[in-house]
Amino acid sequence: MRDTMENTCVIIKPDGVCKKVSGDIIKRFDSEGLKLVAMRMVRPSKETLEQFYAVHKGREFFEPLIRFMCSAPVIVMAWQAENAVAKVRQIIGATNSKDAAAGTLRAMFGTDGRRNVVHASDSAANAQKELAFFFKPEDLMKYEYGDWNK
Ligand code: CMP
């Protein structure tokens, strides 16, 4: 299968921000070879989060998930790589932190199914939709790592 360059939406959730592990999380994606192309700290409204997580509406975890995601600021990022969606999901581990494989971000820093430190898109199409909640197209930076050294 041919590799494709993708962006994926990663959110450091309120537990990640409040436990002061944002730096560890960002460093991990950097050192795994992904490129950071956009980042901002936001406190999304309940309405934004209800739309963002609309696919889960009606599930028993929906309301607590929205309350949790509103409880503190989050850091939203776009990370770019070939097959970024699959790469990032591998790095973060299973949804429930208790089931996440050793060495994954959720195993290292998460607590349970809700307090699982990071969100990441599950497809390239959803990544585009999710990033559009927080970024304009021109917010996604185009650069090469050598650019600083001219
Ligand atoms: P996330 O990657 O942000 O996508 C949807 C979120 O819903 C998921 O991470 C979890 O935080 C939450 N979630 C999904 N399934 C469950 C569950 N069974 N119990 C609690 N929270 C869940």
> Which atom of ligand 1 lies nearest, measured to the CA of 112?
20
Residue 27 carries which side chain, given as an amino acid letter? Answer: K
Residue 146 carries which side chain, given as an amino acid letter? Answer: G
- Note if 56 is an active site residue: no
Cα 35 to averaged position of ligand 1 atoms, centre (Å): 26
Cα 28 to averaged position of ligand 1 atoms, centre (Å): 22
Pull the structure tokens for residue 82.
């070939």
CB-based contact 73:19 (threshold 8 Å): no
- Tell me the pLDDT tens digit for each residue of 70-127: 999 999 999 999 999 999 999 999 999 999 999 999 999 999 999 999 999 999 999 9
Q: How far apart are CA 73 and CA 11, in angstroms?
A: 10
